[in-house]
Amino acid sequence: MKNAKDILIVGGDGFCGWPTALHLSRLGHNITIIDSLVRRAIDAKLGADSLTPITSVEERLAAWKEKTGLTIAFENIDVAREFDQLTELLSTIKPDTIIHFGEQRAASYSMKGIGEKRYTVDNNISGTHSLLAAAVELGLDPHFVHLGTVGVYGYDDGGIEIPEGYLPVYVPSENKIYQQDVLYPTNPGSVYHMTKSMVQLLFQFYAKNDALRITGLHQGIVWGTQTEETKLDERLINRFDYDEDYGTVLNRFLMQAVVGHPLTVHGTGGQTRAFIHIQDTVKCLAIAVENPPKRGDKVAILNQMTETHTVRALAKLVSETSGAKIAYVDNPRNEAAENGLRVSNKIFISLGLEPVTLAEGLMDETQQIAIKYTHRCIRNMIPCTSTWTDDQRPGVVYTEKIRAA
Ligand SMILES: NC(=O)c1ccc[n+]([C@@H]2O[C@H](COP(=O)([O-])OP(=O)(O)OC[C@H]3O[C@@H](n4cnc5c(N)ncnc54)[C@H](O)[C@@H]3O)[C@@H](O)[C@H]2O)c1
């Protein structure tokens, strides 16, 4: 490939990082994955597991080499805690691009208890800062691409379309009106979202002080499992989380439908959320890699989502196609019962993204995955039992509570 880049993918063993690594490798880039494998360790501790039988990282990489002839390197480093190993690797590779997926990524997990809250803050803030500081310390000029979330803005938009990062503010004074672009205000609803708000300031600082080229991708909730590359071989299969801590809503509904569990809608299901299919995630990453900001530019912020839906509309859709029952259960989260959400994604569309949407049949594919691996489903991992404050109640179906009592 003519413009092949050396790309470091932090968190490249995870749900979004793994298919991104394969996609960018297939496009001809030289890929190195850094991952501490902490997600696999957390799964083991929770007694949860990916529904799909993900193979070890070594087996995954060997299968990729066997199928495509392409090599992806792997380094087991904790970027939040192993700074010396990180700097050594960075000084060897001198990456053109660093894509940072390596954070604790579940809002529910971050609200489980004091240990999880502290871990999420320590891991996400420290890891992100170490990557930025190491690049500067070594005099490198990588394009730094970070995965944030649309959820960072809270879900109380008052009808405003969420812009891509910045909001023009007009301040009237006696003689003139002053105008400034400010970061669109965040309104985090969990410790996880709070860390995503906080790292935005790290990015502003390093872009200003050290002219680092930084892209912040504010992603919607990712659904689906497979991409063109992960489908090439069973050993390349992507992870599918359906448990209360890490499962995202649509994958959870599809799983519940397959195992005959009612679709657990929290509260009225009037929460509107932004979504993106995993295939579009990897395409967006390829687009972002090819379009870095210039040195000295402000942080480029793009909303990486393709559609919005209410939770109850999603449940209805899954129920119609599967015949599953819907159960409106208590909401274990401390959030507005109903909200609207409008999000601008003009930049990715203008850069050529052609979104895959829910209506286009990929739900069937995800459902087929859920059916194929039903035997691996651990049923008691499905209900949302941890609450975000003492005032919330678990999001479980009443009959299950009786059975568990
Ligand atoms: N999955 C979604 O729906 C979604 C939505 C919006 C944003 N995001 C963001 O995308 C990123 C990736 O999410 P994901 O769904 O792939 O999560 P994931 O948990 O599947 O993957 C994260 C990976 O990072 C690794 N990791 C975590 N901390 C690390 C550290 N300190 N050092 C090295 N490796 C570390 C984990 O072992 C794991 O393999 C996250 O930052 C997340 O906030 C995800």
Is the CB–ligand 1 distance for residue 277 below 6 Å? no
Q: Does domain 6-403 have CATH number 3.40.50.720?
A: yes
Query: In angstroms, rounded to a whole number, what is the distance separating the alpha carbons of residues 59 and 72?
Result: 12
- b (16+ CB within 10 A) / e for 4-31: ebebbbbbbbbbbbbbbbbbbbbbebbb
Ligand 1: centre distance to CA 89 (Å)? 20
Is 149 known to be catalytic? yes
Is the CB–ligand 1 distance for residue 247 below 6 Å? no
Catalytic residue among 112, 117, 196, 283: 196
User: pLDDT at position 390, please?
Assistant: 84
Are 306 and 280 spatial neighbours (Cβ–Cβ below 8 Å)?
A: yes
Mutating to test ligand 1, I would choose from 13, 43, 45, 103 the residue with most ligand atoms within 8 A of its C-beta, which is 103
Is the CB–ligand 1 distance for residue 400 below 6 Å? no
User: pLDDT at position 401, please?
Assistant: 47
Ligand 1: centre distance to CA 380 (Å)? 24
Query: In angstroms, rounded to a whole number, what is the distance separating the alpha carbons of residues 108 and 98?
Result: 27
User: pLDDT at position 213, please?
Assistant: 98
Question: What is the residue extent of each domain of the chain?
Answer: 6-403
Q: Where are the beta strands (DSSP E) in 66-211?
A: 72-75, 97-100, 143-149, 161-162, 166-172, 177-183
Ligand 1: centre distance to CA 221 (Å)? 12
Tokens standing for residue 371: 């059916």
User: pLDDT at position 403, please?
Assistant: 44
Residues with pLDDT less than 50, the chain: 400-405
Nearest CA to ligand 1 atom 36: 39
SS3 category, 99: strand
User: pLDDT at position 399, please?
Assistant: 61
Q: How far, in Å, are 69, 96, 289 from residue 28 at the CA level?
A: 11, 14, 13
Is the CB–ligand 1 distance for residue 363 below 6 Å? no
User: pLDDT at position 405, please?
Assistant: 37
